[in-house]
Structure 1
């Protein structure tokens, strides 16, 4: 196909050149038209661009496997995941060449840019760094998920990382994945060339679920336009965007006493009538509230299929959560490097700051946190590249939570070590701390996400072993099964599960203890999941304290899997610092095992032996008196 198009374009250029020469050699006194020369140069440039395009090597994927993280709740472990994914040699060579260009761009050419505007974005378009998964004819690179993730991580070393990641993941990538052929033909090349910024409009005030979406869209009388009305909040790049991706309700269907909303996505020109915006007062972030007042949208600007917006949102959020691994890894590396420079500069022969255990302990924590989030991110990206349509919604949520939470933790460690100078707003530590807070709160808070992580896993367990849970919840009617179950879980009750998965056989022998710790945690996760479903049934949705504990367990287990697989691979293939990766993997698994052990212990003990019920009673008292209620300690009644 490429050869045919290139040959056709070349023939047109030759024909143009022949005509142009005939005009030049003619004895006519009429001036040569400049349009012919311009057209010739344009055709020649098109041919040169086509000649540079090389189709990507076909990348075959393996058949879809069962979801890895969800299966951990059942005590099942897919050993193939411990074979940490990697790119082919040809892909790595090409990627390294691209990364060299990206580093030069971010550290030299764009280092002084402080505004995410057209001039800034144009540079990205020139280097084909927008819409990285788009086709070559759309000015993209046809990257797979791993390549995309690595390039975005490198781009996110720039101070405008938040704007970059939102324009790419919640803007251009939506069109790449779901845009129709006509939309791509008209707009995708425009965005990938860096000529426009895209804003993502989803969040609304007081929208607890999609049935409460206030933004509505209705067809006009002539059926040629959609009329859009409503208001969206927390729109990143909203003030500077040229186009907006807007989700609106187009219908509300009532079925079996349930209301089912039909959500549709639209590509809206920011200059369309009826659009107004108000900017939030947030430092270093273009965050806006955008209102639509009978805004007309061409019927061809529907993204995807009408009414499929909810499915699109779920898929988009999975990829966006995964992208948090890139941006938080870049930010955490910057925190680690800055802190290391600071400690080295402040160390003298008198204080020996760098050699104190307190400083070494903190720097070690930051390094472990960053190592884990990086390992999890590229493990998940590799799984997506390796298997066809793999379910990683739980893994993506885990990465978003872990990466953003640990980045805040890293920034707090840095603040404590730097001390008073970090109070200045212009101080590098203060800036990085404020930046880290954005990723823990923007779009979805980490507390809410943690509950969602646990419920995702428990739903999978409930759907898979619903009969076993029903029997366990009705012991008087199922005595034989209950006695059998009690016998099977006797070792779990004693906190001494039998290790029979033999995960150590999939890793380097030096990781034997950590592999056993991982298997121990998997058995404890299964035990804790069954306890909660047996104890609460459907009411588990309201037991947020225990859900948080269970979420902590699966997050730590997935992180353990990632660091062990990565360290084993690095050491076996002889990567530099591979021996230290083994050490870090062992250290992280020690921390994770202790956390899982404590959380499952509290789940097993129940609310009576923990402080859960005490916290609930205290909270009720505070609400009853509408504030802090204890009498001041200096008060007296006599």
Structure 2
């Protein structure tokens, strides 16, 4: 099923253009989908996989024992679960991005901890070999990894180096014998599969001819020696996912195991993470669907004050909000995957949006499910308690919500201010240059920025005009607010993280709403049996998202009350908290 089409390689991303007040309809419409023959093949994989996850895997047992049952892992190997997207020539299933999203949705519906075990190996652990490995590296490592005989781990994070990937301290220096090999020393923390993996993608600083260090990626085997791991970490959730520290003590890595180029490790790391994030939306739609099953069943069965609780408007409001968020999350996840399959290469911002949006919507849906279930949802023997614990990490790892919002906002600002030559170099890679985007003073002429034409979703049918009108209005507002921020702050825009955060949140809501509209448009055009419902879901999400976006844009604008009052207050309060080292206000009783 792997797609090799480059038909969409000339399509630019959607989210970036929002910051210029534009709606790039080509990214969303027509809503992408695989060929019919690919769908039939996928169905043949999904059905047995679903039955296995439902009947053979015991998520509660995995959680209790803090390990995936060995019999489960052995059964998953011949099903291709460890090599879903690995090319068939190397022993993998060869799924495209859409197929992978669908299969991980099944895993996400049943056991997020098991999903992390599988994903940590193939989605990021050995993804670098698939993306950047040479022929010899692929032939040597991929067959055993795809079969599950070996498990992989992605080793980037260090103590003191999380989102700031370039600040890692682990080093690899050329061996003294002139062989070209490297001697690796350092430590990594919070490594998924760290105690199980035989193969590691390790990032380390390497000396360069100019005397400075640059990050390099290496394929490291446990058998190279000098590798030890700590005991499995005790975590809040995803307990069956093995998480450990790793230490490298004079580990000798052959020159042939450099992944990509010496000094090119940052590009490899970002490429892996960008590729890996897209699948999170698929997995979390599965989780959200499971939550909705429990919530809907309880609302239909539980009686209070002589009525089923599903008859109460507050419960109805919760269920409707859960359904619209799920529809938008699912639409965005498969829009991103489908675009990757049709050859679109400009998807990094959308993948970041999908990761943040899906993790936050899933958290909201799970929390509302627990609220509907009441005390029952709080009990450990009921699955929602585990789901809530498991979900919390998704807003943190593989790029926290905060750093990815900054990523989206800064790239969006770069697009809106392409005429700002002094800032372009630093903005080219915002996450690597957060401290460098403070160059010489710049002046922005209003005439050079200019307001774009009114954005339009002209593909939306009449039934979806309410949603389309909201998206068009919000896109225009975001473009205008971004221009105002640039005019106001110029070089200081990087330090205005509160308005940047709002801009990114607004862009994410608009992106998800547009994906929902495009998907519902397809349903209308085909007169499917759920077309009317999908129209309601898309309209419902867009109308609520519009309220959130307008508030965000109001508060991000420098001329607004928030821009002149609320944000300075927040900065002052935060400084007081940090200075005091605790809550700084005097107790109301005085002692």
Q: Say whether the 8 Å CA contact 2:219–2:258 is kept in structure 1.
A: yes
- Would you say 1:267 and 2:222 are equivalent positions? no
Aligned to 2:530: 577
- State the Cα deviation string for residues 435-473 of structure 1 (Å, max 9, x = none): 110111224321232222211211222225669999x97
Q: Say whether the 8 Å CA contact 1:553–1:596 is kept in structure 2.
A: yes
- Would you say 1:399 and 2:399 are equivalent positions? no
Q: Hey, which bits of structure 1, 4+ residues long, moved more than 6 A? A: 55-58, 467-470
Query: What's the RMSD between the two structures over aligned residues?
Result: 2.8
Task: Give the Å deviation of 1:582.
Answer: 0.3
Question: 78-87 or 616-625, which moves further after superposition?
Answer: 616-625
Q: Say whether the 8 Å CA contact 2:137–2:257 is kept in structure 1.
A: yes
Aligned to 2:167: 212
Q: Say whether the 8 Å CA contact 1:123–1:194 is kept in structure 2.
A: no
Q: Which runs of 5+ in 1 are unaligned?
A: 1-54, 476-480, 490-497
Q: Which of 546, 555, 567 is 1:593 aligned to? A: 546
Q: Say whether the 8 Å CA contact 2:81–2:118 is kept in structure 1.
A: no
Question: 433-442 or 213-222, which moves further after superposition?
Answer: 213-222
Task: Give the Å deviation of 1:67.
Answer: 2.7
Q: Which of 138, 146, 160 is 1:192 aligned to? A: 146
Structure 2 Cα separation of the partners of residues 454 and 221 of structure 1: 45
Structure 1 Cα separation of the partners of residues 215 and 332 of structure 2: 32
Task: Give the Å deviation of 1:273.
Answer: 2.2
Aligned to 2:99: 147
- Which of the pair has the greater relative contact order for Cα pairs under 8 Å at 6+ separation? 2
Q: Say whether the 8 Å CA contact 2:187–2:245 is kept in structure 1.
A: yes
Aligned to 1:378: 334
Question: 460-469 or 132-141, which moves further after superposition?
Answer: 460-469
Aligned to 1:225: 181
Aligned to 1:44: none
1:462 to 1:499, Cα distance in 2 relative to 1, 3 A = closer
Q: Say whether the 8 Å CA contact 1:522–1:557 is kept in structure 2.
A: yes
Structure 2 Cα separation of the partners of residues 519 and 428 of structure 1: 40
Q: Say whether the 8 Å CA contact 2:100–2:279 is kept in structure 1.
A: no
Structure 1 Cα separation of the partners of residues 423 and 244 of structure 2: 50
Q: Which runs of 5+ in 2 are unaligned?
A: 425-438
Q: Which of 256, 278, 293 is 1:322 aligned to? A: 278
Structure 2 Cα separation of the partners of residues 327 and 171 of structure 1: 17
- Would you say 1:518 and 2:464 are equivalent positions? no
SS at match of 1:433: helix
Q: Say whether the 8 Å CA contact 1:214–1:230 is kept in structure 2.
A: yes
Aligned to 2:245: 289
Structure 1 Cα separation of the partners of residues 346 and 491 of structure 2: 24
Task: Give the Å deviation of 1:608.
Answer: 5.7
Question: 513-522 or 221-230, which moves further after superposition?
Answer: 221-230
1:116 to 1:305, Cα distance in 2 relative to 1, 3 A = farther
1:625 to 1:224, Cα distance in 2 relative to 1, 3 A = closer
1:300 to 1:473, Cα distance in 2 relative to 1, 3 A = closer
Structure 2 Cα separation of the partners of residues 459 and 542 of structure 1: 15
Q: Which of 188, 210, 228 is 1:276 aligned to? A: 228
Q: How many residues align?
A: 560
- State the Cα deviation string for residues 112-149 of structure 1 (Å, max 9, x = none): 77233664333333122332232223222322211222
SS at match of 2:206: strand
Aligned to 2:13: 67
Where in structure 2 are the equivalents of 1:400-479 lying within 5 Å?
400-464=355-419, 474=443
SS at match of 2:390: helix
| Higher Cα radius of gyration | 1
Where in structure 2 are the equivalents of 1:17-416 lying within 5 Å?
59=5, 61-80=7-26, 81-111=28-58, 114=62, 115-116=67-68, 119-159=71-111, 160-207=114-161, 209-222=164-177, 223=179, 225-252=181-208, 254=210, 261-278=213-230, 279-282=232-235, 283=237, 284=239, 285-347=241-303, 350-388=306-344, 390-416=345-371
SS at match of 1:156: helix
Structure 2 Cα separation of the partners of residues 246 and 462 of structure 1: 36
Task: Give the Å deviation of 1:335.
Answer: 1.2
Aligned to 2:501: 548
Aligned to 1:615: 570
Could you state the TM-score of these two structures normalised by the residue count of structure 2?
Answer: 0.88
Task: Give the Å deviation of 1:56.
Answer: 7.2
Structure 1 Cα separation of the partners of residues 563 and 174 of structure 2: 57
Aligned to 2:436: none
- State the Cα deviation string for residues 272-319 of structure 1 (Å, max 9, x = none): 422111121114131111111111223322223332211111111111
SS at match of 1:218: strand
1:465 to 1:560, Cα distance in 2 relative to 1, 3 A = farther
Structure 2 Cα separation of the partners of residues 169 and 210 of structure 1: 18
- State the Cα deviation string for residues 356-393 of structure 1 (Å, max 9, x = none): 111111111111111111110111111112235x2111
1:68 to 1:466, Cα distance in 2 relative to 1, 3 A = farther
Question: 56-65 or 245-254, which moves further after superposition?
Answer: 56-65
Structure 2 Cα separation of the partners of residues 213 and 70 of structure 1: 29
Structure 2 Cα separation of the partners of residues 537 and 326 of structure 1: 38
- State the Cα deviation string for residues 470-513 of structure 1 (Å, max 9, x = none): 9x9758xxxxx65x689x76xxxxxxxx984442x312221122
